[in-house]
Amino acid sequence: MVRGDKRLSDGLVVVVFIGALILPWAGMWLPLDPTPAPTENRMLEAKPTAPRRFRDLPAYAMQYRLYFSDHFGFRRLLLRWHADLKLAIGDSPSAKVLVGRNGWLFYTGDAAVDDYAGQHPLPPAGVRAWIDMLEARRQFVAARGGQYLFVVAPDKTTIYSEYLPAGIDQLGPTTMDQLLLATREQRDSPFFVPDGPLRNAKRDGLVYYRTDTHWTSLGKRTASRALLAHLGIHVPLMRTEYETRTVTFELGGDLSRMLDASGRFSETIEKTEPTAIAVRPHIEEEVSCHEPSLARTASCTVLHLDQRDAGSSTLMFGDSFGEGVAPYVAMGFDRFTYVPIYPDSASFRAFVERFRPSVVIEERTERSLKYPPRDTPDGDNRNKWLAAE
């Protein structure tokens, strides 16, 4: 009897072992894992092309190993279990998401939380690089009869620091604080941060989502109103008059999806746009521009929101924050063009020369300020021409 039990247990071990070898491969080709794919904010490795020559085998094996790591069977289920276990013990399953108080989530990529704490201030050379770039762009636009404005979208840690976990305190100035101080000493500085209006608007509702990195509709309206007022343009951005189209996400925002929290941090996300833009014709154009800092030609989709062919016009560069406020900002102009990039100096000049705007707006997130522009070549040292936010 004992021998029979041992044979049974040995057989079970063999079955489990063989199953552990086969299931990851079977799960790659058969729909055995119903778990929704988590949001990873990166491109998964694509399946490599089979090698044609024997000497290409080592490279193929390395590429296939990376592909297998991203696609083996039941990977999504294992990631879900890992996330649930980490959250159960009060830890974050993602190195890029910080779980704050009252269910608030914060993005920690690009050392955003460290920057809030003032742990890594920019050296004087970095501050000088920003000041020189801003002044060069202001002068370039002014020489062509236009106005230049550099707008910073504050990180959520700056506006809702009261929801950060205990123990995270400001020990020194942030990068944005350094640049605000430096630009105050300059005449006609284009540097602008709508942090005051956003803090004031908190009394009327959320200006950032709890589970997302971005502004709510109230936040977008507030930032847009402050930006246009800074330019001397006043547009009534009231909800009842201007917002009509709404897209709703019930399970939360990008940070919640990065945690793969199974709705644990659920929140209704509503993305809206003004009526004036919803009924306004728009044109998308693919534009290529040589990017010296990358030694190649990059392209992006430019959005035109033109009401009339003549009159005031603006050219706006930005990331996902800029894309969110673009429809609101566009209402202050007859012609509006949005370019979804962080431009280097050569690209900046090329777009300004091409569209000849009366106003040029460049938006960047606060966390991007830690990457000062290089002296030579004229480029952004994040080495990302297209905005990846």
Read off the pLDDT of residues 83-99 as tens digits, 9 standing for 90 and up. Answer: 566 565 556 566 788 88
316 pLDDT band, cuts 50/70/90, is very high
Q: What is the pLDDT of residues 234-243, one digit of tens each?
A: 766 544 455 5
Of 12-26, 164-178, 256-270, which has the strongest mean pLDDT? 164-178
Written as one string, the DSSP assignment of 81-144 is HHHHHHHHTT--S-TTEEE-GGG-EEE-GGGHHHHHTT-SPPPHHHHHHHHHHHHHHHHHHHTT
For residue 377, what pLDDT is reported? Answer: 35
DSSP 8-state class, residue 18: H
- How many residues belong to the chain? 389
Is it the case that residue 389 has pLDDT exceeding 50? no
Greater pLDDT, 326 or 293: 326
Helix (H) or strand (E) holding 156, with range, is: helix 156-159
Q: What is the pLDDT of residues 185-197, one digit of tens each?
A: 777 899 999 999 9
- Over residues 261-274, the mean pLDDT reads 71
The two tokens of residue 336 are 């509006």
pLDDT of residue 170: 79
pLDDT of residue 383: 40
Answer whether residue 141 shows pLDDT above 80. yes
pLDDT tens digits along 22-66: 666 665 666 666 666 666 556 667 777 877 877 777 777 788 777
Mean pLDDT of all residues in 161-189: 88
What's the whole-model pTM score? 0.74
Q: Please tell me the predicted confidence (pLDDT) of residue 99.
A: 87
Taking the C-alpha atoms of residue 10 and residue 33, their distance in angstroms, rounded to an integer, is 28
Phi/psi at 272 (5° precision): -125, 170
Question: What is the predicted pLDDT for the residue at 1?
Answer: 47
